[in-house]
């Protein structure tokens, strides 16, 4: 068996995977319904804008949510030298798609969104909920170009305080008690947006002892999947989720009397299904379930007088959280646009390309046929799977106890995940069509970029030709957890929301420019270059 000298990446990949779990082709968009539920005046439509969603609406990046724009780098000369010029741990919330959408519509600047006195975001205090993964000095990490903030864990005292209404208000939020319009609760599922009015758990401390067997490990994994929204519920809903009051995110949105609401939900139904091997309870995973719950959301908001714009989901196995087990048919050049296991071994770990491909074809696939692609389907290794594989010296037997979930997706289960992915999107589309609201086709946009050709790919690749941006790991559109967008990626998504809103509602929201976010142009955008994209 080939000796894989991959030890330096183990710790960092473990942190990446933990952060990811604690968290979401064609080139032409569908026609946009012209039906409006509010006055046609652009000013009237944008009078009160609300965002209802999960971590994608909240602006989570690299496994954390942070609103404080003045958190100093722990050691700018070593650990975070690539962003030393910024001088701070980059905040995430101000760079989210809803923040950009709102700011552009209302004429606000990034600095105003970062200011607790003027922001409409539920700004999270330093050091943030979660533990943010940042670009790092490879000399410090032993060759890995990223790391989490040292001295922290995702269950340190600050993270633990997020579960309590009193402490979340008193220490986690910068602008406690402020009227906020971003109701994005990370890890929230579609049905929870309608029904959840308090945390499901009260602590991030494990409720079970150290797993003694694979069954116990799966129980613990399910706990972390189900409990993620509990950690973020009070920090986001502090003003609305009063103890004893059954005020859900949807009810909170209605209470704000919105004239325009962005709705982006369903990603956590899909992710929890995938990471639990299809066993996580209470998920919307059929098109009928999704249509019913999304219809409830849409009609409730429309009945309250709001225009509504929704979005569907990308194909999650096309995000860099998942590496295709196989050799890219286009060779190493394909690593520039898609994430394959040999690309990770070569780009992140540093194996020569010949060794990376030889490992996959000569050791991994034959040794465990359950990983092998079946027909036209692919198997996928997750970041957790990469940890186990590396720690076992490359022995694929280390993966067998965690089939279909935290370590990898077999070809057959990956097909099930994609079936659920398609079902969720079908339900969202059906609800949007039936209720005559516009839908931003995120699936089509991401698929176009992932394909490496066409209009969407050309637009992303033109941000900095030959350098940025694509959907591969480190390609610039997603942050380092492999699931949440970078500043540039969020700006690209915001630009589509603006286009579809303007077409559907007759508004004149100024365009969002992803290249300006990439370069750190200031104004609506962060005043520093995107720290998660190559320059």
Can you tell me the distance from the alpha carbon of 17 to that of 480, in angstroms, rounded to the nearest whole number? 10
373 neighbors 343 (Cβ within 8 angstroms): no
- Residue 2, pLDDT score: 40
423 neighbors 287 (Cβ within 8 angstroms): yes
Kindly give the residue spans of alpha helices, DSSP state H, lying in 178-336: 190-195, 214-237, 249-255, 267-275, 287-303
- Residue 432, pLDDT score: 98
Structurally, the chain folds into a number of domains equal to 1
Angle at 476 between CA 90 and CA 22, to 5 degrees: 60
First to last CA, the chain: 38
Can you tell me the distance from the alpha carbon of 132 to that of 15, in angstroms, rounded to the nearest whole number? 10
What are the C-alpha distances in Å from 233 to residues 173, 339, 446? 12, 33, 29
100 neighbors 109 (Cβ within 8 angstroms): no
Structural domain for 287, as ranges: 7-24+40-321+410-519
Instruction: Name the CA dihedral angle for 421, 436, 194, 116, rounded to a multiple of 10 degrees.
Output: 100
Can you tell me the distance from the alpha carbon of 469 to that of 462, in angstroms, rounded to the nearest whole number? 8
Residue 468 is assigned to a structural domain of this protein: yes
What are the C-alpha distances in Å from 501 to residues 108, 261, 263, 429, 495? 18, 10, 12, 16, 10
Residue 527 is assigned to a structural domain of this protein: no
DSSP letter string over 260-299? EEEEE--HHHHHHHHHTTT--SS---SHHHHHHHHHHHHH
Residue 244 is assigned to a structural domain of this protein: yes
Separation of CA 510 from chain center: 25
Can you tell me the distance from the alpha carbon of 83 to that of 531, in angstroms, rounded to the nearest whole number? 7
Residue 353 is assigned to a structural domain of this protein: no
What is the model's pTM? 0.91
Residue 193 is assigned to a structural domain of this protein: yes
- Residue 358, pLDDT score: 87
Spell out, as residue ranges, where the chain has pLDDT lower than 70: 1-42, 205-227, 363-376, 386-388, 390-391, 393, 400-404
For residue 95, the 8-state DSSP code is G
- Residue 104, pLDDT score: 98
* Bond before 92 cis per omega within 30 degrees: no
What are the C-alpha distances in Å from 206 to residues 223, 232, 256, 332? 8, 17, 36, 42
Q: Which two tokens stand for residue 74?
A: 């722990």
Residue keyed to tokens 């943010």? 132
Residue 529 is assigned to a structural domain of this protein: no
- Residue 403, pLDDT score: 65
Residue 255 is assigned to a structural domain of this protein: yes
pLDDT tens profile 469-494: 999 999 999 999 899 999 999 999 99
Residue 363 is assigned to a structural domain of this protein: no
Nearest to 525 by CA among 502, 494, 481, 482: 494
């Amino acid at each position: 068996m080939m000796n894989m000298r991959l030890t330096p990446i183990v710790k960092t990949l473990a942190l990446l995977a933990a952060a990811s779990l604690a968290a979401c082709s064609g080139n032409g968009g569908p026609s946009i319904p012209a039906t409006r539920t509010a006055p046609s005046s652009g000013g009237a439509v944008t009078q009160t804008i609300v965002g209802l969603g999960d971590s994608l609406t909240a602006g989570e990046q690299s496994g954390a949510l942070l609103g404080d724009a003045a958190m100093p780098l722990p050691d700018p000369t070593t650990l975070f030298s690539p962003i030393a010029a910024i001088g701070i741990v980059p905040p995430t919330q101000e760079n989210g798609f809803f923040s950009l959408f709102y700011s552009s519509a209302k004429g606000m600047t990034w600095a105003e969104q970062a200011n607790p006195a003027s922001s409409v975001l539920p700004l999270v205090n330093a050091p943030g909920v979660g533990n943010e993964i940042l670009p790092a000095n490879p000399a410090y990490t032993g060759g890995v170009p990223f790391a989490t903030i040292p001295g922290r864990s995702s269950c340190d005292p600050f993270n633990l305080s997020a579960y309590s209404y009193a402490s979340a208000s008193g220490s986690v939020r910068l602008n406690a008690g402020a009227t906020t319009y971003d109701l994005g609760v990370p890890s929230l599922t579609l049905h929870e947006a309608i029904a959840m009015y308090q945390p499901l758990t009260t602590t991030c401390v494990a409720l079970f002892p150290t797993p003694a067997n694979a069954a116990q490990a799966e129980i613990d994994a399910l706990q972390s999947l189900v409990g993620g929204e509990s950690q973020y519920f009070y920090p986001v809903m502090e003003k609305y989720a009063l103890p004893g009051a059954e005020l859900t995110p949807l009810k909170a949105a209605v209470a704000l009397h919105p004239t325009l609401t962005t709705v982006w939900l369903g990603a956590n139904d899909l992710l929890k299904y995938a990471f639990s091997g299809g066993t996580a309870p209470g998920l919307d995973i059929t098109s009928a379930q999704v249509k019913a719950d999304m219809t409830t959301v849409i009609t409730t908001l429309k009945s309250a007088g709001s225009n509504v714009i929704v979005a569907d989901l990308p194909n999650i196995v096309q995000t860099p959280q998942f590496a295709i087990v196989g050799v890219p048919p286009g060779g190493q050049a394909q690593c520039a646009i898609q994430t394959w296991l040999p690309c990770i071994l070569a780009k992140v770990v540093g194996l020569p390309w010949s060794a990376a491909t030889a490992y996959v074809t000569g050791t991994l696939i034959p040794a465990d046929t359950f990983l092998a692609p079946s027909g036209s389907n692919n198997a996928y290794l997750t970041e957790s799977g990469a940890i186990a594989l590396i720690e076992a010296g490359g022995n694929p037997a280390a993966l067998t106890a965690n089939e279909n979930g935290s370590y990898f997706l077999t070809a057959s289960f990956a097909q099930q995940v994609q079936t659920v992915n398609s079902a969720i999107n079908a339900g969202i589309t059906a609800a949007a069509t039936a209720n005559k609201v516009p839908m931003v086709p995120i699936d089509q946009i991401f698929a176009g970029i992932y394909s490496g050709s066409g209009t969407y790919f050309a637009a992303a690749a033109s941000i900095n030709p030959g350098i940025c941006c694509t959907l591969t790991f480190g390609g610039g559109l997603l942050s380092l957890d492999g699931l949440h967008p970078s500043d540039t990626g969020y700006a690209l998504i915001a630009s589509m929301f603006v286009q579809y809103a303007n077409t559907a509602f007759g508004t004149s929201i100024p365009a969002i420019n992803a290249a300006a976010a990439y370069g750190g142009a200031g104004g609506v955008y962060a005043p520093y270059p995107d720290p998660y994209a190559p320059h």
